[in-house]
Amino acid sequence: MDIKFGFADTARELVIRVAGEQDGYLQQINEALANNSNVEIEDEKGKKFIVRTDRVVYVEVGSTSQRQVGFAGV
């Protein structure tokens, strides 16, 4: 699942690929945004990211469902 952060005054986004449940990340990010504090996220490879939420404009949290590949899902 990908978590995408958009920041004010820049066209670049921060995309972090994580393993785990969407609800846990949503709760963690919502709390950090509400308190204007930092959010710490660890990606699938073990890298840790600390994101300051004072400049965050939007957050997109990907779906935890598996995508269909090929024509089987049509």
Exposure string (b/e) for 17-37, b if CB count within 10 Å is 16 or more?
ebeeeeeebeeebeebeeeee
Task: Tell whether 72 is covered by a domain.
Answer: no
Task: Tell whether 67 is covered by a domain.
Answer: no
Range of the domain at 51: 2-61
Task: Tell whether 66 is covered by a domain.
Answer: no
**pLDDT tens, position by position, 13-54:** 999 999 988 999 999 999 999 999 999 999 999 999 999 999
Confidence of residue 6 (pLDDT cuts 50, 70, 90): very high
Task: Tell whether 71 is covered by a domain.
Answer: no
Q: How far apart, in whole angstroms, are the C-alpha atoms of residue 58 and residue 7? A: 7
Confidence of residue 65 (pLDDT cuts 50, 70, 90): low
pTM: 0.80
> Please, are residues 13 and 3 in contact by the beta-carbon 8 Å criterion?
no
Report how many domains make up the chain: 1
